[in-house]
Every structure is written in C-alpha cells, then in structure tokens.
C-alpha cells in the first residue's frame, strides 16, 4: 500500500517530519510511505496561479497515485500553519487531488496539547468542498512535548505511544480499503459494461475468423497461425527452449497460471491437471473463449472492476483469498497486470496458489509461531481481502 | 477620534473584503482614521531561526502598536482563514507579538451565502491563542454573504440593514477599545509574561 506523508511545516527543522520519517521507517512492512516536504510551495494567491509549477504538480501527482495520505501538522496559534493551509489552497483551487482520498491526521507539538486544536481545524479544512478528502474519524494521534519524544536514533521513546501509533496506522489501512469500496462507483455500481467481456474487438494478436467459443478453438487457431509446437525451438528473452520445454517449465510453476489478453480473451492456462484437481478449475475447451463465457453473469461487474484496476494502472495486482478450500489451505488468486516494456497493458496473469505450505515452511525454518490472539497483527492483510473479496471472490 | 489599522485578509488583486474595508473607512471617517493594510507583499512565514521580523512585518507591527484598535476582514477559503492571513498572524506571534492585548474587531465577506462564518470562527480561535492574545470583541459577528452583489458602483453597501448592523458593531467597538485599554493597563503582567512564549518553549 502506497502512502504519501505530508510534512505540515515549512520550518528547516520539524518534529512532524521526524514523526513521518519514523512512521515510514517503523511500519515499512505494513505501508510504503513517501515523505513529502512543502517548504518550496509558494504562498497561495488566486491572482497569481502557480498550479502548473513543478512543485505543485509533483505534489499533485504523488497524491493522485497514492492510496492514502498522512498529514502531520504542528500547531501555530491554535491552528494549522499557513504553509500547510497554502498547500491545501493550491490543491483545491484548479486541481483537486485530495478529492475522495483517504487521509489520516497526526501531529506533534512542543506543548502538552500535541496539536489538538490544529488537528480539528485541519479536519474542517479537509472537509471543505474544494478539498473533499475523506478523513479517518477517531484514532487521534497527538504527540505533545515532542522535544522529549524521540531518542537519538529518531525513534519514539515511549513504547506505548509507538504501539498506539501502530494501532492507528493499521486502522488507517483498513479505512483506506473501506473508503475505496465506498468511494469508487465501482463499489456499488454495476460495472459490467465497463469492459468488453465478450471480446468483440480485436487487438494485434487476435486470431480472427475463428469462433472464440469453439471447443477446438486452439486447434483451429494454431492451424491458422501455423503455430509451432513440440520440439521446435522458440527464442525467448533471455533463452532458447523448445515448445515442449516451455510447456513443462510452465507446468512446473508452483501456481495455476492463466493468461487473458487485453481484448479479454482467455488464451492460455498451464494445463496439467484435470479441472476437479485444480484450485480454480479450467477445462481445455475453454481456451479461446471470451471472459464472459468463463464467468457467470452475476460476477461480470466484479470481473470488469478487476480488469479496470489493472488496465488503468491503478493497481498492478489485485489479490483475493478464496476461503472455500477448508482450513488446511490458504488459496490466493492474484490478478497480475501483464505489461510490455513501455508499460502498455497486455492482459492478465492470474496465478492461483495455496500459500499455506509456504507459511508452514517459513515457520518451521525460523522456529516461529503465529500468535492467534492478536487480530490486529494481520488486519492489513485480512481487511484487504475482505473488501476486495466482495468484488472478486466470486470471480 | 480613534486611530485604527485594518488588515485585509486576502492577498488577491480583487477582493470584496477590500471593498468592505474601504466602505468602513469611508463610512466611519468622522469617528476614526482607518488605514487599510495590504498583506500581499508580506513574505510567507517560514519560522526563521533568528526570529527576526522582515521589515514589511515590522512595519505592520509598528502600525498595530500605534493604533487604538485593529479591524481584520477575512474571506473564507476551505472553511478557514486564507493562508496569507495565517502567515501574517504567524509572523506577528513569532516575532514581535504586536497583537497582544490589542482590541480587535472582525468582519468578513464571501461570495457565497454563508459570508465567511467558518473563517471568522477559526480566526477568533487563532487570535485567542496565547502567542497572539488579542482582545477580540465578543458577540459581534458581521458577515457579508453574496459579496459580489453587495456593493454598488460607488463601493457602498446596498443593504441598509447591513449598514445599520455595521454601525452598531462599530460603535460598540469604539467603546470596547476604551474599556479594553483600561483593563489591559490595569494588569500589565500580560505584557511581561507573553513575550517569553514561543512554540519551542520547553
């Protein structure tokens, strides 16, 4: 999960910068935080529009691309600093990158208040229609008397404070997932029409003139394209394999692999098991079919949502756990975008794995145990699955 | 005759708060000399180590110190006070603290219906902070909504009821300035205590 941390102060030295750096460092297993400074942002003036300046465009880009934003604010005169205010004015004037963006507020101050009043002001500012961020309620993290809060390694001295911060961060991760479902029209709206699931179009690689639904599409298409097979060599990047070697190699992958192209046509799976033995059953005659024919109509909206996430570049991989395999397996479907060297979307690599053996092996090798009681410890992982599963588990 | 300094809370080339202050200046010229101070040339506050006020800020501080009272007129940006006005107040609180114990009256105008109500409420809270410690006149909210339509070609407020409300508040303020200055002179300990305050105080 990619987050942006905005330092609410433009001062040379800022404890709020330390706080964000601590969050980035300490929770890097949970979140990937890029800390951004605002000190080069000019004072907002509606008569002197600098929206297109590099510094504002950079902030805009980073925020748009992030899953969420953490703002760390000091308190000046019972309110947020003018520097932060100015940034929010730029980001609500001609451009609105915070619109619908999940935001978490933290703050540090020299006095005991720990930025309490400025956090309330910030909430109100973020709630203004031009900004329209979605601010996480509750979970107020106030760091008072901050001159004494960090040790020489810039870590929070007080373990309880750090623990509370972790709780807040984990809640924020869940919050982001909930907001994504809530925000995106995708969450509620029928998206079936967003994708051409019947693959009525054609791309450069589409084999035309053959019925995609035909049981022997593969045989017909192979003949039409004079596709090589067997012991014919294929030059790859970087290597040389025969088609047989390539097949056995792909079959040996510790996952069920499926390739659907950007035209939403199901082109390949590493067939070496019968449907009944697979984690996600596929039949040989399905190859070539449009994705619409591989899914029941009730999940068309979810399928389209996943494809849109990958096609638009919003996400590179969408994962979902399918819990119907019993307690001994942890089956994960990963929908990974396939892109060319220029980043163009080519299709989906769906790989299905039972990762339970990997987890067991890891625990055995390291002598560690899973602690069952601490629900929060896995909230990042589980909440993500929860919110996405509504959309994709059925797929 | 009172001497007031008014601070225009916007740095924009066109501002209906400027029109409002100009109207106040003109309308009450028999009761007070009112200077309008523009903040658009002030540098952005950046908490310099040396705590030295740039000369534009010092100029404002001197004017505030010499004035009997201060009128601030603020637009509303994002439910709050514009960054430019915030920056001005940060300079004052961080360097010379010229607003301490100064009688202050707030006005505001906005394009929409609500007339800067949220900005004024934030501004009150800010001016009440120990670093600023202004003496804000209570119970005196003056809001101009739909400010683009509020003035005629000569810069006069067209709504007679608004003018009457403004006159009542302004008269109150003249008295409030006298009362406040008596109160402040009676207790000079504020002055001594406040300058030691800073955001870094440990």
For the stretch B157-176, pLDDT in tens is 999 999 999 999 999 999 99
Cβ <8 Å between B81 and A85:
yes
ipTM of the complex: 0.88
Q: Would you call A258 an interface residue with chain B, using a CB distance cutoff of 8 Å?
A: no
Q: Residue A134 — left, alpha, or beta (φ > 0 → left; ψ -120 to 50 → alpha)?
A: beta
Cβ <8 Å between B77 and A124:
no
Chain A residue numbers with beta carbons less than 8 Å from the beta carbon of B85 are 82
Cβ <8 Å between A77 and B87:
no
What structural domains does chain B harbor?
2-196 (3.40.50.360)
Q: Residue A333 — left, alpha, or beta (φ > 0 → left; ψ -120 to 50 → alpha)?
A: beta
Query: What pLDDT is attached to residue B117?
Result: 94
Cβ <8 Å between A47 and B78:
no
Residue A332 CB neighbour total at 10 angstroms: 18
Q: Which residue of A has its CA nearest to B43?
A: A43
Q: CA A43, CA A374: separation in Å to the nearest integer?
A: 46
pLDDT along chain B (202 residues), means of 10: 97 96 98 97 93 95 97 97 98 95 96 93 96 94 95 96 97 97 78 55 45
- Domain-by-domain residue ranges, chain A? 2-183, 193-392
Chain B residues whose C-beta is within 8 A of a chain A C-beta are 11-14, 40, 44-47, 49, 77-87, 89-90, 93, 118, 122, 125-129, 131-132, 199-202
Cβ <8 Å between B78 and A131:
yes
CA atoms within 13 A of residue B84's CA, in its CB half-sphere: 26
CA atoms within 13 A of residue A315's CA, in its CB half-sphere: 16
Instruction: Decide if A259 contacts A347 (C-beta within 8 A).
Output: yes
Write the CA distances from B113 to A46, A356, B116, B144, B146, integer angstroms. Answer: 20, 60, 9, 8, 6
Instruction: Decide if B194 contacts B137 (C-beta within 8 A).
Output: no
Query: What pLDDT is attached to residue A188?
Result: 60
Cβ <8 Å between A10 and B44:
yes
For residue A207, the Cα-to-chain-centroid distance in whole angstroms is 33
Provide the 3-class DSSP secondary structure of residue B141: coil
- Listed as own residue / partner, the contacts of A337-344 with beta carbons closer than 8 Å and 24 or more positions apart are A337/A310, A337/A311, A337/A313, A338/A259, A343/A313
Residue B93 CB neighbour total at 10 angstroms: 27
Query: What pLDDT is attached to residue A385?
Result: 35
Instruction: Decide if B130 contacts B88 (C-beta within 8 A).
Output: no
Rg (Cα) of chain A, in Å, rounded? Answer: 25
Q: CA A322, CA B189: separation in Å to the nearest integer?
A: 70
The CATH architecture to which A2-183 belongs is 3-Layer(aba) Sandwich (3.40)
pLDDT tens for chain A, 395 residues long, are 899 999 999 999 999 999 999 999 999 999 999 999 999 999 999 999 999 999 999 999 999 889 999 999 999 999 999 999 999 999 999 999 999 999 999 999 998 988 999 999 999 999 999 999 999 999 999 999 999 999 999 999 999 999 999 999 999 999 998 887 776 555 566 777 889 999 999 999 999 999 999 999 999 999 999 999 999 999 999 999 999 999 999 999 999 999 999 999 999 999 999 999 999 999 999 999 999 999 888 788 889 989 998 998 888 999 988 877 878 889 999 999 999 998 899 999 999 999 999 999 999 999 988 875 444 433 333 333 333 333 333 33
Query: What pLDDT is attached to residue A193?
Result: 83
Chain A residue numbers with beta carbons less than 8 Å from the beta carbon of B98 are none
Q: Residue A337: beta bridge partners?
A: A348
Which of A82, A89, A98 is the mutation pick for testing B, counting most B CBs within 10 A?
A: A82
Phi, psi angle pair for A327, to nearest 5°: -75, -15
Q: Rounded to 5, what percent of chain A is helix, strand, coil?
A: 40, 20, 40
CA distance B45 to chain A (A): 7
Q: CA B168, CA A386: separation in Å to the nearest integer?
A: 60
CA atoms within 13 A of residue B39's CA, in its CB half-sphere: 31
CA distance B129 to chain A (A): 5
Alpha helices in chain B (DSSP H): 16-27, 55-66, 83-94, 117-127, 160-186, 189-193
* A2-7 and A32-36 strand pairing: parallel
CATH label, A193-392, candidates 3.40.250.10, 3.30.450.20, 3.30.1390.10, 3.30.160.60: 3.30.450.20
Which of A77, A112, A131, A148 is the mutation pick for testing B, counting most B CBs within 10 A?
A: A77
Instruction: Decide if B90 contacts B124 (C-beta within 8 A).
Output: no
Q: CA B22, CA A217: separation in Å to the nearest integer?
A: 81
- DSSP letter string over A179-248? HHHHHSHHHHS--GGGS-TT--S--TT--TTS-TT-TTHHHHHHHHHT---TT-EEEETTEEEEHHHHHH
Q: CA A315, CA A153: separation in Å to the nearest integer?
A: 35
Rg (Cα) of chain B, in Å, rounded? Answer: 16
Q: CA B44, CA A85: separation in Å to the nearest integer?
A: 12
């Amino acid at each position: 999960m990619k987050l942006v941390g905005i330092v609410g102060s433009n001062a040379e030295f800022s404890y709020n910068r330390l706080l964000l750096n601590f969050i980035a460092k300490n929770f890097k297993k949970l979140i990937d935080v890029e800390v951004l400074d605002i000190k080069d942002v000019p004072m907002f003036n509606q008569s002197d529009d600098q929206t297109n300046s590099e510094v504002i465009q950079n902030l805009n880009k980073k925020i748009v691309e992030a899953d969420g934003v953490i703002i760390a604010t000091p308190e000046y005169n019972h309110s947020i600093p003018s520097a932060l205010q100015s940034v929010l004015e730029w980001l609500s004037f001609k451009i609105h990158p915070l619109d619908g963006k999940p935001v978490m507020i933290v703050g540090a101050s020299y006095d005991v208040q720990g930025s309490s009043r400025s956090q309330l002001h910030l909430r109100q500012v973020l709630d203004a229609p031009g900004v329209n961020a979605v601010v996480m309620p509750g979970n107020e993290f106030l760091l008072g008397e901050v001159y004494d809060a960090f040790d020489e390694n810039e870590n929070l001295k007080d373990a309880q404070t750090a623990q509370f911060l972790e709780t807040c961060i984990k809640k924020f991760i869940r919050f982001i997932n909930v907001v994504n479902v809530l925000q995106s029209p995708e969450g509620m709206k029928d998206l079936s029409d967003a994708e051409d699931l019947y693959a009525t179009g054609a791309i450069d690689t589409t084999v035309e003139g053959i019925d995609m639904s035909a049981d022997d599409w593969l045989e017909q298409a192979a003949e039409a394209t004079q596709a090589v097979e067997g012991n014919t060599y294929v030059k790859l990047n970087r290597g040389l394999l025969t088609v047989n070697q390539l097949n056995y190699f792909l079959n040996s992958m510790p996952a069920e692999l499926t390739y659907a192209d950007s035209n939403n046509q199901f082109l390949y799976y590493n067939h070496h098991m019968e449907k009944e033995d697979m984690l996600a059953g596929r039949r040989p005659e399905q190859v070539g079919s449009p994705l619409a024919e591989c899914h029941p109509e009730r999940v068309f909206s979810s399928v389209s949502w996943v494809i849109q996430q990958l096609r638009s570049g919003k996400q590179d991989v969408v994962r979902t756990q399918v819990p119907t395999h019993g307690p001994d397996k942890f089956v994960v479907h990963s929908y990974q975008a396939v892109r060319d060297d220029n980043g163009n979307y080519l299709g989906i690599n769906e790989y299905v794995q039972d990762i339970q053996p990997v987890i067991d092996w890891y625990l055995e090798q390291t002598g560690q145990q899973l602690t069952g009681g601490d629900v929060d410890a896995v909230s990042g992982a589980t909440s993500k699955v929860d919110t996405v599963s509504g959309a994709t588990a059925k797929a | 005759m009172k001497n007031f300094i008014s601070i225009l809370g916007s740095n924009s080339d066109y501002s209906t708060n400027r029109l409002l202050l100009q109207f106040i200046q003109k309308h009450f010229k028999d009761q007070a000399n009112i200077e309008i101070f523009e903040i658009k040339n002030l540098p952005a506050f950046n908490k310099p180590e040396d705590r030295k006020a740039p000369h534009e800020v010092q100029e404002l501080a001197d004017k505030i110190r010499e004035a009997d009272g201060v009128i601030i007129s603020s637009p509303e940006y994002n439910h709050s006070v514009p960054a430019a006005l915030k920056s001005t107040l940060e300079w004052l609180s961080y360097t010379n603290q010229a607003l301490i114990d100064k009688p202050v009256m707030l006005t505001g105008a906005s394009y929409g219906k609500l007339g800067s109500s949220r900005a004024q409420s934030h501004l009150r809270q800010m001016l009440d902070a120990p670093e600023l410690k202004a003496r804000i006149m209570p119970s005196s909210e003056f809001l101009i909504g739909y400010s683009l339509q509020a003035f005629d070609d000569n810069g006069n407020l067209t709504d007679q009821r608004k003018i009457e409300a403004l006159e009542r508040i302004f008269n109150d303020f003249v008295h409030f300035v006298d009362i406040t200055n008596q109160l402040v002179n009676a207790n000079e300990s504020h002055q001594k205590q406040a300058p030691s305050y800073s955001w870094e105080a440990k």
